[in-house]
Structure 1
Amino acid sequence: MKDTLYKKAVEVLENNWKEGFSIPCAKLYPFQWFWDSGLIAIGFAHFDMKKAEQEIETLLDAQWGNGFIPHIIFHTESDTYFPGPDFHRSDLHPQSSKKYRSTGMTQPPVTGFVLEEIYKISKDKPATLKFIEGVIDKVYFNHEYFYDNRDPQNEGLVYIYHNWESGTDNSPIWDDIWKTMNPPEYTFERRDTTHVDAAERPSKREYDHYLYIIDIAKEHNYSDEKIAELSPFLVQDPLFNAMLIKSSKSLIKLYERIGGNEEKIAQLTQWQQKAIATFNEKLYDDSLGAYVHYDLRNEKPIKFLSSSSFAPIYAGIPSKERADKMVEVMLQKFGGDHQYLCASFDPDSERFNPKKYWRGPVWVNLNWMLHNGLKAYGYSDVALRVKQDTIALMENNGFYEYFDSRKDMHKDGNAGYGGHNFSWSAALLIDLLEKEE
């Protein structure tokens, strides 16, 4: 069964490969996405290193003149996705890419640790290190962009200005922020709900909020300063910042391997020290026993548990004592016998919805991070459970975008939701199967 699953995963990646990059899945997501691309490259590295490298090169080729990397790069015209390039208008920013149209938002910066993963997987390490040497400065430049432009209080934590930047698009974490806003009613034609059940997607009113935030950014030509001053959505996200910290750790290791680059290593180390200290001080919630989001616009923590609350384990941020508490909380709240680990939102909350995008389903990418983080901290039994749960979800349902966290929903193999033949689900399954415990 494992061999068959592996072959199917390879097939999914090959089918979603375009000229030099991958799409997450046909129709629903017909372009290149920032964090998807990185995670997809990890899967390719196991059987086609050339494609893994091209994936990264194409992504970095769309970098703006200020180091920013957009969350969607519109390589082709497509009428199956809204909002497209004509709505986003990346050209409004003076330093946006002249070669590619894109959004003016970003996504969790995974590229640094992806390069390290690719190096670990490589069977020809000198050749892979040579490739990394050719692209690593662009990733460093991206980190520099964040710390120079997205940290207005100079505390080592960067903000996101749109829920799409978090990667956890319609999480219940944002509900209270929406209550502080009253955007206009937009008239537009949704494309996503023609491909998947509307019950699995954000509502029309949620989309009004999403578009309104983009309009405010566009009005100011995507100026980071103006966004920090005026955006109604301004959040320090534990998942986003953990990915940046994890990626910086990887860049330090890779620069040391390459040799030279002392100044960059010193700068990365400085960012790391400040980031980890503030992260632990500001984002850890003692009463919940995990990390939470911080609403920078309204200067208050957003006290909800989600899979993002545990992501800092992957970046090595919590002390062992804190990690013990986090694992206890995760197992108690998210890990009952009737549940697959790890739901994307607190199953005890009234806002939990195990069918709806980031409001409760299990996502393979977060599970992959949790698995690796738990293993690094020495929680091998829990890490193994996360891995086995993740594989079981795909064995039962196929390579969906996300999965119901309730075990009893999987009896007939109909509990995979969102996009089907989803690239990062397939890619990270390959990585999980390759790395035998």
Structure 2
Amino acid sequence: MNQHIAEARRILAANDRGGYTVPTDRLYPFQWNWDSAFVAMGFALYDVERAYRELERLAEGQWADGMIPHIVFHQPSDTYFPGPAVWRTPNPVPTSGITQPPVFAIALRKLHEAGGDRARSLALYEAALRWHRWWYRARDPDGTGLVALLHPWESGSDNSPAWDVALARVPTTTATPVARKDTGHVSADMRPRDADYHRFIHLVDTYADCGWNPIRQWQKAPFKVADIQTTAILLKAGEDLEVLARRFDRPAEADEIAALNDRTRRAILAQWRPQLSRFVSRDLVSGADVEAATQAGFMPLLSLDLDRAIVEAIVAEMKVWSDGLKVAFPTTKPGTSAWEPKRYWRGPAWAIIDWLLIDGLMRNRQPAAAAALRRSAIAAIEAEGFAEYFDPVTGEGCGGLGFSWTAAAYMVLAEAESA
């Protein structure tokens, strides 16, 4: 075992809080939804039992309506804002009131295929299916095939330039005093700005006042974006759920999932913009395309078998974005007015985004582009450690350190590289 793999395992052990993993100590002291799904895939390489526990602990926070929230507050901590008292959710287990990209089912299939336990896989499949149905019911009530986010935090890409136009409509007034804790752990230059945070909390207040009822939230939401990245991840999750449904001899459920997948596949394809060489999200309040140049525009690689001309255009555009950078892949196009190479989701490279894009490039028969991106991510981590993300210009590790999903990503990417 090389020293970096050993260190990655040590980080996951250090961030273990009793069957679930915190992203990093103090900055993120609870269980985060998509973080845990990535972490479970890392554990699956060497400890399938522990990987199951990661998903099972996450599923403990599932709501009666099927939503799996973005944070499960298993135990108290005063190092993070907003905590349970701000969210005011009705769930018996303290959680946030919003969700995150549905990587859960993608992880579950990998666990099951790593020699998993059928009974445990089946229980988690049923949780994943309830959540999948929730996405289409609560976040695509008009049946478009694209699912909407009602809060930037639901994307996982909290302060992405993709939200700038839609978020500008959200007031900065809050009923809840904003008591940021994040900038006490990490430089403010690497975090969302104060105005962003006030808008984030305004949205939390708005939905808490709706009693977290999905129908009322949909009606009241001042922020409503059909996100191409989340929808692409949902489609990949749907593909994996369909495979599991057939393996578990659930033909009616498999057919139901397949029909949803077909609808979403067509909807994503309709969001391709050849003049931009990427896919776009849609602002459901204004009806306009979201043309901000972010990594989300390439994420449909993950879940679509694209025409060669589209793939070639995407790969060429991705090369333009990465040209001259020390670390790929940037989350905002370099040189644009929104580009900030150290500020969270406004430019830095993230190992888990690389992981998803690499899977998408491999799916679409681009092994050379995938290998180049994989080597870039591995080199960054080996040089700088398991940072939350990396400045793509300097290579500096930024944000939180000893980060769980970076450790998981390293193990997965290193295994692929050695293979």
Distance 2:81 2:306 in 1: 39
Question: Counterpart of 1:297?
Answer: 285
The alignment status of 1:393 with 2:374, answered yes or no, reads: no
Report how far residue 228 of structure 1 moved.
Answer: 1.5
Identity, % of aligned positions:
31
Residue 398 of structure 1: how far off its partner (Å): 0.5
Q: Cα distance, 1:75 vs. partner?
A: 0.6
Deviation sequence 1:17-49 (CA, Å, 0-9, x none) = 111100000000000000001000011111111
Write out per-residue CA displacement over residues 68-95 of structure 1, whole angstroms, 9 at most, x where no aligned residue.
Answer: 110000011100000100001112xxxx
Distance apart, 1:317 and its partner CA: 5.3
Partners of 1:272 and 1:61 in 2: how far apart? 26
Structural mapping, 1:227-238, within 5 Å: 227-238=217-228
| CA deviation after TM superposition for structure 1 residue 224, in Å | 1.4
RMSD: 1.4
Q: How many angstroms does 1:227 deviate by?
A: 1.6
**Deviation for aligned residue 1:131:** 2.5
Aligned to 2:56: 57
- Secondary structure of the structure 2 residue equivalent to 1:370: helix
Instruction: Show the 5 A alignment for 1:9-408.
Output: 9-91=8-90, 96=91, 98=92, 100-120=93-113, 122=114, 125=115, 127-184=116-173, 187-258=177-248, 260-281=249-270, 283-316=271-304, 318-332=306-320, 334-406=321-393
Q: CA–CA distance in 1 between the matches of 2:325 and 2:233?
A: 30
Whole-Å Cα distance in 1 between the matches of residues 150 and 132 of structure 2?
17
- Are the equivalent residues in 2 in contact too, given 1:280–1:317 (CA < 8 A)? no
Code of the residue aligned with 1:42 in structure 2: it is M
Residues 52-109 of structure 1, C-alpha deviation per residue, up to 9 Å, x if partnerless? 0000111112111110110000011100000100001112xxxx3x1x1001000000
Quote how far apart the aligned CAs of 1:339 are. 4.1
In structure 2, runs of 5+ residues without a counterpart are: none
Offset, 1:289: 1.1
CA drift at 1:242 = 0.8
SS at match of 2:192: coil
Cα distance in structure 1, aligned partners of 2:333 and 2:42:
29
Question: For 2:202 and 2:76, how far apart are their aligned partners in 1?
Answer: 24
Task: List alignment gaps of at least 5 residues for structure 1.
Answer: none
Give secondary structure in 1 for the equivalent of 2:2. helix
- CA distance, structure 1, for counterparts of residue 299 and residue 347 of structure 2: 16
Deviations 1:329-357 (A, max 9, x none): 1112x120334221011112111000000
Count of residues in correspondence between the two structures: 417
Residue type at the aligned position of 2:19: G
Cα deviation, 1:347-371, whole Å, max 9, x if unaligned, reads: 1211100000000000011100111
Show structure 1 runs of 4+ deviating over 6 A. Answer: none
Q: TM-score, normalised by structure 2?
A: 0.97
Tell me: CA distance 1:187–1:134, structure 2 relative to 1, closer, same or farther (3 Å): closer
User: Letter of the aligned partner of 1:108 in structure 2?
Assistant: P
Question: For 2:100, what is the secondary structure of its paired residue?
Answer: coil
- Structure 2: which amino acid aligns with 1:68? M
Greater shift in the superposed pair: 101-110 or 227-236? 227-236
Instruction: Check 1:80–1:182 CA distance in 2 against 1; reply closer, same or farther (3 A cut).
Output: same
Higher alpha-carbon deviation: 146-155 or 261-270: 146-155
Contact 2:161 2:294 in 1 (8 A): no
2:77 and 2:170 mapped to 1: Cα distance? 31
Q: Deviation per CA, 1:137-160, whole angstroms, max 9, x where unpaired?
A: 110110011111211221111111
Provide the C-alpha distance between the structure 1 equivalents of 2:236 and 2:386, rounded to a whole number of angstroms.
Answer: 26
Q: In structure 2, do the counterparts of structure 1 residues 328 and 144 end up closer, same or farther at CA, with 3 Å as the change threshold?
A: same
Aligned counterpart, 2:401? 420
* Residue 293 (structure 1) shift: 1.6
In 1: Cα distance, 2:21 partner to 2:317 partner? 36
- Greater alpha carbon shift after TM alignment, 48-57 vs 370-379: 370-379
2: CA distance, partners of 1:420 / 1:188 = 25
**Match of 2:23, as an amino acid?**
P
